[in-house]
Amino acid sequence: MKMVKRDKKLKFIDFCSGIGAGRLGLENNGLTCIGFSEIDKQAENTYRKFFGDEETNYGDLMKIDTKKLPDFDMMIAGFPCQSFSVIGQRKGMQDKRGQIIYGLIKIMLDKNLKYFILENVKGLTNHDGGNTLKIILKELDDAGYKVFHRVLNSIDYGVPQMRERIYFIGVRKDLVPENFVFLFPERLPRVDVKNYLIDNKELEFNEKKESYETFLRYLKNKYNHGRYDLDGFLRKNYLVLDTRQSDLRLYENKVPTLRVGRHGILYVRNGKFRKLSGYESLLLQGFPKDLAKKVDGVIEEIHLLKQAGNAMTVNTIEAITRELFNTLEKYEK
């Protein structure tokens, strides 16, 4: 079968866009964004601070009239994960939000898309004993796509954040031969967390803060009492402390998964505790410093932390996209 030559100026729409991390991953590979779809107004506000007001927000993808969408080649979507996550109720395909995959497939079919990249939480892999994943893969196959999926960890692709997510890469079957195989990008060397924990705002965490007393009581609860030395913490530069739930978790040269509800990440710098900031959270998701600075101090910290927790990792999407088109070009030769 003769390969179809790839257009060097591929266009995409950013669905379930959040604040545009997936968009950046594609743009860093030379693709052009012509619109996005996002229902969260706070996320849209940050998105527009990053990228401007030119593109149309098509809103709820389940309500989009696909006839009104411009022609485009590729879809990127971090479709809602609450119904599959281990921290959610895991209703899966019974949850209305879990049905968004069908809305995405409808758009793929109506626009005859060439390619897609979808992202979701690792919990999707074993939801309902793996049946949910099987259903999604079958639906995508029936829609006419060769589909490849794998769980990747962001810490292996150029940021010091442990973030496991499942990625689906799809190529329309008529564009590639039957023996087409996509191999996910190889892991990269680990990076130094100190290059990401660099905020200089007054976010020191000490006895002057009311929440510091809460932290001290947390260290004395039945799970943590007698296990930790506060002064010992302060002697370890860039030690990261995750105060989630009842038990304290410690990390060196890495940061735990950023999540919407997780605002309790502390770290040590120059002998002092500091709170992880929204700006630093964006850096940990692969946003470049100049872009992160656009919203630092403009968007409230609580919103930036939430939005970073919801985002994809730019570096991982960039690596996948680069590998996809490098692979396609190999098959074209």
The answer to whether residue 65 sits within a structural domain is yes
CA distance 331 to 182: 11
Taking alpha carbons only, the member of 104, 129, 115, 118 closest to residue 152 is 118
Strand order in the sheet with 145-153: 32-37, 11-15, 74-77, 115-121, 164-172, 145-153
Residue 46 C-alpha from the chain's centroid:
15
Same domain, 212 and 277: yes
Query: Is residue 81 flagged as an active site residue?
Result: yes
Same domain, 156 and 251: no
**Token pair of 39 as six digits:** 């229902």
Taking alpha carbons only, the member of 284, 286, 292 closest to residue 319 is 286
Same domain, 316 and 268: no
User: Helix H segments across the chain?
Assistant: 21-27, 41-51, 100-111, 131-142, 210-219, 230-234, 278-284, 289-295, 301-310, 314-332
Owner of token pair 């810490």: 155
CA distance 230 to 234: 7
Number of folded domains in the chain? 2
CA distance 76 to 14: 5
Same domain, 271 and 301: yes
What is the span of the domain harbouring residue 229? 193-309
**Token pair of 31 as six digits:** 């693709």
**Token pair of 42 as six digits:** 């706070």
Q: CATH number for the domain including 164?
A: 3.40.50.150
Q: Provide the total of helices (H) and of strands (E) in the chain, helices listed first.
A: 10, 10
The answer to whether residue 169 sits within a structural domain is yes
The residue type at 55 = E
CA distance 133 to 131: 5
Same domain, 135 and 199: no
Which value, in Å, is the radius of gyration of the alpha carbons in the chain?
21
Strand-strand pairing, 32-37 and 115-121:
unpaired
Residue pair 14/37 in contact (Cβ under 8 Å)? The answer is yes
Same domain, 229 and 251: yes
DSSP state for residue 244 in the 8-state scheme: -
Coil, helix or strand at residue 200? coil
pLDDT value at residue 282: 98
Taking alpha carbons only, the member of 239, 158, 237 closest to residue 191 is 158
User: 213 CB contacts (<8 Å, ≥6 apart)?
Assistant: 207
Q: Mean pLDDT for the chain? A: 91
Coil, helix or strand at residue 32? strand
Same domain, 23 and 128: yes
pLDDT tens track, the chain, 333 positions: 344 444 558 999 999 999 999 999 999 999 999 999 999 999 999 999 999 999 999 999 999 999 999 999 999 999 875 555 444 455 645 654 558 899 999 999 999 999 999 999 999 999 888 888 999 999 999 999 999 999 999 999 999 999 999 999 999 999 999 999 999 999 999 999 999 999 998 877 888 777 888 889 899 999 999 999 999 999 999 999 998 778 899 999 999 999 876 667 999 999 999 999 999 999 999 999 999 999 999 999 999 999 999 999 999 999 999 999 999 999 986
pLDDT value at residue 6: 47
Same domain, 66 and 212: no
Taking alpha carbons only, the member of 206, 244, 234, 191 closest to residue 216 is 206
Taking alpha carbons only, the member of 132, 112, 110, 111 closest to residue 121 is 132
The residue type at 129 = G
Same domain, 79 and 144: yes
Altogether, the residues listed in the chain come to a count of 333
pLDDT value at residue 262: 61
User: Helix H segments across 71-209?
Assistant: 100-111, 131-142
Same domain, 166 and 41: yes
Same domain, 153 and 167: yes
Same domain, 127 and 97: yes
Coil, helix or strand at residue 171? strand
Coil, helix or strand at residue 256? coil
Q: Which of 81, 133, 284, 299 is catalytic?
A: 81
Residue pair 97/82 in contact (Cβ under 8 Å)? The answer is yes
The answer to whether residue 322 sits within a structural domain is yes
Owner of token pair 């850096």: 283
